[in-house]
Structure 1
Amino acid sequence: MVLQSIRDRLTGVLAFVILGLLVIPFAFVGVNEYFSSGSLNQVALVNDEEITFDQFNQSFLNYRRQRQQQLGAAFDPEAFDGLIARLEHLDRMIDEELLRQAAVALGYDVDNTLLAEQIRTIPAFQVDGVFNSDVYQARLLAEGLTISQFEQQLRQAAIMETLPRGILESSFATPLEAERLIGLLQQQRGFDAVTVPADPASIDTEFSDDEIAGWFADNQQRFMTEEQLTIEYLELNADRFPPAEAPDEAVLQASYEAQKGRFLVPEQREVSHILIEVPATASSTELEQGRLEAEVLSQRAKAGEDFATLAMDNSEDIGSASAGGSLGLLEQGIMPEAFEAAVYDLTLADPISEPIQTGFGWHVILLTGIEPASGMDFEAAREVLLEEAQQEQAERQFLEFADRLVDIVYEDPTTLEAASLDLELDIQTEGPFTRAGGFGVSAEPAVLSAAFSDLVLEQGSASDLIELSPTRAVVLRVLEHEPVRAQTLDEVRDQVLALLRQERAEALARAQADSMLARVAAGEELAAVAEEAGLIVVNVAAARRQTMSPDPVAVQNVFKLPRPAEDSPGYHVVDAANGSALIILRSVTDGEVDEASGFGSAQAGQMMGTVVGSVESNALIQQLREAASVSIFEDRLGVSR
């Protein structure tokens, strides 16, 4: 069940492939044998199991890409680039590692055969519904993963999900709990609202230098730069090599002959048969008796009796007798030699054989159809063979260049100049970019992992060869490193002034809403008070939690307010999306069970059971946390608060 759930999720994640693939949204840890790391590369230590920066960065980038695809234009890069977002993601990874450790301690594991079968059923790894190993490797390579890494991640995910899934599947809710849930979820609230907008443009106050400096000092953590790199790199790309020479015709012809089965579908013959079984140890008398019986059946069929009926009544081939003796379409090389020879001697004009002997006994064969050979002859297949031969030659050339590049850089890993001159490759630069990635090669997870590794960043060495695809690879080194630092007031003065005006505008909007509330609570008419301020009253008769008008934030806050007294409304000021809102809460009506609406007691019970299971799962994680030894190294995440 756990693997099936993961496969189902991959079906959807790898639809955005994969994954932007494998945008596989797993955060898996504890797989130390697959990621080389030293103690300085740890971002967390969970009961002596390390979470390395490489593991964290790969997981965080996948999560960030997934959220970007989900949110589209609403995606805010800044919300996912700071330390808070990274710490929250690391926190989830720690929880998952604790769950994995607990499951392993209880003896949970995943069968290799089941794991392989689940991988084969993932649509992103299939061609025309069939698993394709080349596609599998290419998809993983595009995400910077090896097969062993991915399979270990999938295994760890299945193990990690075992305990919480077991809790969720065994949780339930009582009918009373389900009824209460419906009451809350389907609840409706009636209220009047006046939204008081915050308008920073209307703030013409001149802030003093002391005010600006004081506010900046109190909020300096909001103005930290991110760690950034600028790199130089050499790129090998087979697409940029000169076109490979066309191979000789003899080479193409030999390739065609070696792969003829790939291009040609041989002639197939549709046949039925009647089998009179004779054991291999039968005497000559028994053999002759079987032949005579088959001879009689052959003559009856030739005389016009229905062959299918004869087969159903007389054939001793259990597998085909019930189908009238039909064996379907056959091609050469499948059946015993004597049987096959007889099949290909028959014609549609003379379709019934004499008795034919094989190791099974005596057969009477009926030819019912001929599918002629089809496919591509050499001339038709020539272009395909030529393209493949040139591609193979390009890949060989690519590997030769890659080996040469590695050898040269290994001799002096402090420079790319020698390799650039020897291989006639331009040294390219990119950056600055953060650990979240940039554009071009710096958007590749494998490049980011290498660029921020100890070898490249701390030791100043060129990277190992980074394979981005079977025909594309890079080697890089760091040109400039900008560590995290606090920005000066001069650098962010305009931002500070904008935030000061926004805060002042929000405070004024809140004060105005509070003043209006006091007047209405004292007996003045809401409409008159609003009109005096140039604002409008919105009457909402029955808002639900999903209601967007008059303001989605205000509506959410309305549902946090206490119920009004039976004989009088409630007067409140709540935050709105931009400013504040004066709310007169008049009614609260709990939802009721309505099976016809599609959300009845069964659905509510299932949802409440899930809620209960989630609470219990969180309680388990909390217990594991309290019993665990967890160390977090914030400074190794590359950003500050």
Structure 2
Amino acid sequence: MLQSIRGTAGSWVVKILFILLIVSFGFWGMGPLTGGVGGGVAEIGDVKITPQELDREYRSEIRRLRQIVGPELTDEQARQFGLVDRALEQIIQRTLLSLAAKDQGLRVGDAAVAREASTFPAFRNGLGQFDPNVMRAVLAENGLTEQAFVEQMRSDIARSTLVGGITGGTAGSKTLAESLFRYRQEQRVFDVVTIPNAAMAEPANPDDAAVAQYHQDKAVRYTAPEYRTLQVATLTADALAGGIEVSDEDVRAAYDNRAAEFVTPERRSIVQAVFADKAAAEKALAALNGGRTVEQVAKDAGLEAVTLEDSTKDALPPELADPVFSAAAGTNVGPVESAFGFHVLTVKDVKVGGTRTYDEVKEELRAELRRERALDQVFQASTKLDDALAGGASLEEAAGQVGAKVTTLERVDNQGNGPDGKPLPAAAQLGATLAPVLENGFSLKSGENSGVKEGEANSYYAVQVGMVEPAQLRPLDQVKAQVIADWKAEQRSVAAKAKADEIVAKLKEGADPAATAAGLKGALFARTQPLLRNAGRNAPVPRASWRSCSPRSPTPSLPVRRRTAMSWPSWCRWSPSIPPRTRPRWRRSAPRRPRPWPATWPASTWPPFAPAMA
């Protein structure tokens, strides 16, 4: 093949094609391989949005979303969520508002920017005051220069001013607000008659033909899931750590290298007030020595006392560090002059520091070193395990070569349960690895293995599928008792529905609901407290009743189920609506909580209604 290519490349036809290609490059040149990345990703008027701006906005959105969903959010998932498009849209919206503010002649001065920046809690020092040095450090940590931050703040203030001018004077329609208020705050009282399935007479046992037919009609209910036998090899750092030896010399070296970790600095808590002049500070100190507190003398001077809890010496301004840490607990100190003024303070508490000795921490260090080495070894072992499996070794053989633990799950379903419906004890041993093991194990064919996969907490696993038992209908003789019980329950439900329809017909003719319920064994009657439309899922009547019920007009019977409980509310009506008691306030308020179910209806009977509350 290579010889053929070389022979063809030497022909005159190929040479002519190469000459034409070179001439074309000479005329038109080679475009940039970046496909225009060096330019803007969007253009609004004369403003171009650069890829760097989009990347910063995108990274900011990822950080915000990770605070909500957790740090495991990946870039690929973020792109699937549309974060790139969202970041671009936000930049475009801000740019449009900034251009509109510029067109309107809005200009933001340095004083307004400084005033706004001083309100940021992140820019305050240990004394609770705005500190330019702290601001610069925070900006540097976030990849911003002071100039870039100032310009960003200037644009933000201009946009806020523009939007506030547009929305500040608007007001919603009073008619619409009052209509919504009446709709949301209207209350209704419902009469409810319920016929529980349990109130119906137990039907006679069905004949064998009916049982067999029901077994076939409800085959899905009695079908056993697919079962598989899975072999799982697991490699964990904890398992390998037990066989790793760490010498005393290594432990001592680690202690010396990490000596600073074992030093607990002395900490002190103080409460202070900062005065503008020395005379006022000396007067305050005299008051402190006379028995008054810092809070009291600060209040007398129109100042605010500041408490600093558990501060180290390094965390205090240099002028305060020595006086504070040389004073005993309960001592008044001052006046001490600093760049902020004259400090007068009281040392509230002293927490003595210390150093943990080598003997105190050597076993702790030994365990850490053992685990660190185990982490290195577990990765190397996972690579060897993967190579062995790829080379055709069985899971047991490959696991034996690297010391991996092998767990066998006999006849397990895709939920980790055995044929008896209970979790397999062996499955519980896998812990958090069980879910991915089952997912991989049920995606393979018999005899296949998954290869090595990374699990939780620096662990690795591999799955090999053995026996596969397809899902199949359980024989009737194994589930006959359950089939008969289900058939009887269904017959009771049908009877309760028929009885409920009879009661609906009577009530439509004018019968009293309470008297009708009293005439039927097991039927229940209750009148609710006044309810709001948004009473929630715990409301005692289905939400559909608000649409279908009218005064003295019964609803059709409605089935309501919860767990094994089942009942048929046969009828409900609502009293004339109760208007809201107060005029609407032009603000959004929390909805009223629904009142509890009436005590006249046993608490055990109303939970079945919960799933029907939409």
Q: Calculate the TM-score normalised by the size of structure 2.
A: 0.49
Higher RCO (C-alpha under 8 Å, 6+ residues apart)? 1
Q: Calculate the TM-score normalised by the size of structure 1.
A: 0.47
